[in-house]
Amino acid sequence: MIEHDEFCRLDRRKRAVVEAARTLFVEQGFERTTLGDIVDRAGGSLATIYKLFGNKDGLLEAVVFEKASSGETLILDAVRQGGSPATILHRLSEQLRAHFLDPEVVSLVRIVIARSINDRDFARLFFERTATRTRTSLERMFVSWLDRGVEMNGDPAMLAEMFLGLFVSDVHAAAISHGIGVEHSHERLRARTDFFIAGAGLPRH
């Protein structure tokens, strides 16, 4: 019982630290945020942070990779709700846009871009846990449609990469430009998704 209580206590402390760090990284940037700032916001001690995360870099990884499977989850949910390929892709495009263009996600992507310039291992790990997992889930979706006899132009891997690219390009543009000059309207998203569906040769209904 004591071990279980201790585990629960550390888990709650870990959640509090990650949430405080994420908020502060977004509000004032990774470089300007100190571990002391995070302790002040989350409570606890520096010793606890070092025990749970090693250092500030380890804490950043915990913050960034916390939602690494979000894209994968959105895809599974969109498919589970059913409908034609066109219906699922339109549903998914709305959900992926909302996820990728969430202000908090965009702010974290800025931090990742800056960090990746000097840390190739971090960049590789981020890519593997986010874009690669999301693209693989999309590929499985297209494969399942192909197995059911749905006609499409191109192989599932290429289609997954192209569809994901619609959103990755937007989040990168938003992160770099701070949203200047790009209108992320519902009409624009629907037109881009319709264009993808037509190019992929998927049934429109």
Let me know whether 53 and 77 are in one domain.
no
Per-residue model confidence (pLDDT) at position 158: 96
Give the residue from 47, 64, 81 where a domain finishes: 64
Give the residue from 41, 64, 87 where a domain finishes: 64
**Is residue 130 in a domain?**
yes
Output the domain CATH number for residue 21.
1.10.10.60
Q: Give the pLDDT of the chain (205 residues) as one tens digit per residue.
A: 446 666 677 778 888 999 999 999 989 888 899 999 999 999 888 998 998 898 888 898 888 877 665 788 889 999 999 999 999 999 999 998 888 888 888 888 888 888 888 888 887 877 777 778 889 999 999 999 999 999 999 999 999 999 999 888 777 777 777 666 667 788 989 999 999 999 999 998 7
Angstrom distance (rounded) from CA 110 to CA 117: 11
Per-residue model confidence (pLDDT) at position 1: 44
Angstrom distance (rounded) from CA 200 to CA 152: 5
Using CB atoms within 10 A of its CB, is residue 181 exposed (0-12), middle (13-18) or buried (19+)? exposed
Output the domain CATH number for residue 127.
1.10.357
Instruction: Give the structural domain span for 15.
Output: 2-64
Q: Helices 120-127 and 56-65, interaxial angle, to 10°?
A: 20
Angstrom distance (rounded) from CA 80 to CA 19: 30
**Number of domains into which the chain is organized:** 2
Q: pLDDT for 109-136, tens place per residue? A: 888 888 888 888 887 877 777 778 889 9
Per-residue model confidence (pLDDT) at position 144: 96
Per-residue model confidence (pLDDT) at position 162: 94
Let me know whether 111 and 164 are in one domain.
yes
- State phi, psi for 179 to the nearest 5 degrees: 80, 5
Let me know whether 21 and 88 are in one domain.
no
Per-residue model confidence (pLDDT) at position 88: 96
Q: pLDDT for 87-101, tens place per residue? A: 999 999 999 888 888
Q: Which of 146, 157, 132, 126 has its CA nearest to residue 64?
A: 126
Per-residue model confidence (pLDDT) at position 148: 94
Give the residue from 49, 64, 79 where a domain finishes: 64
**Amino acid letter at 15?**
R
